[in-house]
A and B are shown apart, each in its own frame.
Chain A
Amino acid sequence: MTQTITLPDRAGLGLKPEHYRDALAAPADGLWFEVHPENYMVDGGPRLAWLDAIAARFALSLHGVGLSLGGPERPDPDHLARLKVLVDRYNPASVSEHVAWSRLGNTYFADLLPPPPTRKTLHRLAEHIAQTQDALGRRILVENPALYLSLTGDISMIELYVEAAKMAGAGLLFDLNNIYVCAHNLGTGTKDWLAAVPAAEVGEIHLAGFTVQDRDGERVLIDSHGAPVSDPVWALYRDFIREAGPKPTLIERDENIPAFAELVGEAAQANAILDDYLKEARHG
C-alpha cells in the first residue's frame, strides 16, 4: 500500500461548493480540504473541475459516507469502484469512512446508522474495512459514530470502533463532537472514549457543532454540523491535543453554511491550540 502525502498537523476545512472560489484564493499555509467523495462521483463537469483546481493547491482528504462498513453486507463493489476512481485521480492525503451502516439490500438510507455493538459486528466490520483497504490499495481511517440510541450488545461501541480498526490495520478518525453528543445522549462520559482511544492511531480529528432536538421533553443533541464548534468540544480538543500532540484537525460544517471567512476563523482557533501545544513543548 503506497501513500505519498499526508495531511499536515494543522486545521483543514470541509469544502462546500458555495466556497469554491474563496477556497481556491485562500493562502495555502497548511490549510487542507476534505470532501465527501460521494458528491464527486460524476463523469465530468464543473464540480470535478473545481476539485481538480483545489487539489492542485491543497492537501485533500476524501471522507466517505456511503460504504456502510457496519452493515451486514460487504461494501458495494460498484461504490468501491467509483471511490477508487477518485482515489486514483487525486491521490488524497487521507481516505476515511464511518463506523456506521447505511445500506441494506438495494436500499441506501442516506444516514449514518449505528451498528449493533456485538462481537459478530466487530468481526464483520473489520472484514469490511480490510476489503475496502484492499480495493483501494491503501490504509483508511475510520470514524467513531454519533449515537442517539443505547443499543444492547456484548461489547461497547468504543470497543467496536477501536478494535475493528486495529484488527483491519486501519487508523482512527476521532470526532470529538461525536463523543460529546454520545456522552450527552446516552448519559455516559467522554472520559471513557478519551481513555480508550489510542492517540498514536489517530490520524485526523473532526470538530463540529451540534443542534438540539426535543424528544418527549428530552434534550437530544444532533450531530448536524449545523453550528459553530461548541465550547465544551473546544475544551475536549485542547485536552486531547495536550495528551496526543498535534493532529490534522477538520472543521466540519454541512448545514447553515456561513461565509468562508467564518470557517477560516474556526480553523484559526484550532491552529492556535495546536500552536500552544508546540510552544509548551518547546519550553519543556
Chain B
Amino acid sequence: MAKNGDDFYANFAKVLDGTDAARMQPWLEDEKHLTRFAVHQGNYRMTTSKAMQGIYKAVFRLVGDEYFMGLMTQFLHDYPPQSSSLTHYGADFPAFLRNFSPVQKDLPWLAPVAQLDWAWFCAYGAKNTPALDASDLLDVAPELLPGRTPGLHTSCTLLRFSVPAYSIWRTNREDKNVGSISMKKGREWACVWRQDMTIRHASLNQAEYAFLDAIGGGRILAEAWTDARLHEQNFNLSKQFARWLNAGIFMGDNND
C-alpha cells in the first residue's frame, strides 16, 4: 500500500474497527509492531465498554462480563461514539438490543431493562431545575388547580413495558440477592426522576401512568385526571397530585 498523507488516520481508524493491521505497515518503522495495534483496539473497546457498564448496570449484572463485551463489540461497530465525552454515549443501546436478533429471541426483557438504566443515567445528569413545591401553590385557589399544567420535571422519564421489566431492573439494581421475577407478572409501568440530588423511581399502575403521561404532554390536571379514570374509575386526583407533588416530579413554577 502506498503511503499518502492523511491516509494514516483513515487506515488507523479501520484497524480500530477490526480490519487487519497490515494496512498500517507503510507507517511503521518496525514491522513487528503490527501486533501492537491490538493494544489500541483493546483500549477503544475497553474504555467504551467500561463507560457503558457504568450506565447499564442492571443489563451488565443480568448478562455478565463476557456476554456484555460481546454485545459491546457489535454495538461499537454499529453505533461508534460520536461525542468526545462518553457521558453522551449509549442512548442507542436499548434500540440496538431491541433489534439485535439473539437478544430479541432469548432475552426479550433486556431492551426494556436497558431503557430503565438509561432513564436512571439521564436523571443523574439532568439540569438542576427546581421542582414544583407546595409553597408555589399557596396563592392558587383550589377551584383553579384542575386548570393548571404543571408539566413533568426535566429529569423525569415515564416508561411502559409489555414484560415485568421494572421488577427485573429494580432487583438487579438494588438487591444484593436478586429476586426471582415471573414473566407471568405481565405488563408494567414505571417512572424515574431526580428529586434534588437523589435519583428516585417508582412502579406505576396504568392509571397513574396515564395521569403522568398526560401531564408530561402539557395537558391540564383535569384532562390528566380524565385520562387516568379511563383505567381506574375511582382515581383520586387530590391524593395523586399531593403524592407526586411531594415526590418532586412536577416542574417548578419558575421554569420556562
**Assuming A49-B197, A110-B47, A113-B40, is B9 touching A43 (CB within 8 A)?**
no
A44 at the interface (CB under 8 A from B): yes
Complex: A89 Cα to B158 Cα, angstroms? 32
Chain A positions within 8 Å of B85 at CB level: 38-39, 41, 66, 79, 82
Chain B positions within 8 Å of A82 at CB level: 85
Which residues of chain B from 117 to 156 have a CB within 8 Å of any chain A CB?
123-129
B8 at the interface (CB under 8 A from A): yes
Complex: A71 Cα to B12 Cα, angstroms? 12
Chain B positions within 8 Å of A39 at CB level: 85, 87
Which residues of chain A from 144 to 162 have a CB within 8 Å of any chain B CB?
148-152
B107 at the interface (CB under 8 A from A): no
Choice from A116, A213, A215 contacting B8 with Cβ under 8 Å: A116
Which residues of chain A from 48 to 82 have a CB within 8 Å of any chain B CB?
49, 65-68, 71-72, 76, 78-79, 82
- Total contacting residues, chain A, CB less than 8 A: 46
Assess whether A111 is in contact with B44, with CB atoms less than 8 Å apart.
yes
Chain B positions within 8 Å of A256 at CB level: none
A35-46: contact bitstring with B at CB < 8 Å (1 yes, 0 no)? 000111111111
Chain B positions within 8 Å of A66 at CB level: 84-85
A4 at the interface (CB under 8 A from B): no
Complex: A42 Cα to B197 Cα, angstroms? 14
Assess whether B37 is in contact with A149, with CB atoms less than 8 Å apart.
yes
**Interface SS majority for chain A:** mixed
Chain B positions within 8 Å of A76 at CB level: 84
**Assuming A49-B197, A66-B84, A149-B37, is B125 touching A109 (CB within 8 A)?**
no
**Assuming A44-B128, A109-B13, is B35 touching A148 (CB within 8 A)?**
no
For the complex formed, measure the closest distance between the CB of B156 and the CB atoms of chain A, giving whole angstroms. Answer: 13
For the complex formed, measure the closest distance between the CB of B43 and the CB atoms of chain A, giving whole angstroms. Answer: 4
Complex: A72 Cα to B81 Cα, angstroms? 18
Assess whether A108 is in contact with B126, with CB atoms less than 8 Å apart.
no
Assess whether A108 is in contact with B81, with CB atoms less than 8 Å apart.
yes
Assess whether B35 is in contact with A43, with CB atoms less than 8 Å apart.
no
Choice from B40, B43, B86, B127 contacting A43 with Cβ under 8 Å: B127
Binds A, one of B25-33, B62-70, B224-232, B238-246: B25-33
A contacts, CB < 8 Å to B: 38-47, 49, 65-68, 71-72, 76, 78-79, 82, 101-104, 106-111, 113, 116, 120, 148-152, 185, 213, 215-216, 218, 220, 222
Can you give 28 contacting A-B residue pairs, CB < 8 Å? Answer: A40-B87, A41-B88, A42-B87, A44-B126, A44-B129, A45-B125, A45-B128, A45-B194, A47-B125, A79-B84, A104-B9, A104-B13, A107-B13, A107-B80, A108-B81, A108-B84, A109-B13, A110-B48, A110-B51, A110-B86, A111-B16, A111-B43, A111-B44, A120-B5, A148-B40, A149-B33, A152-B29, A215-B35
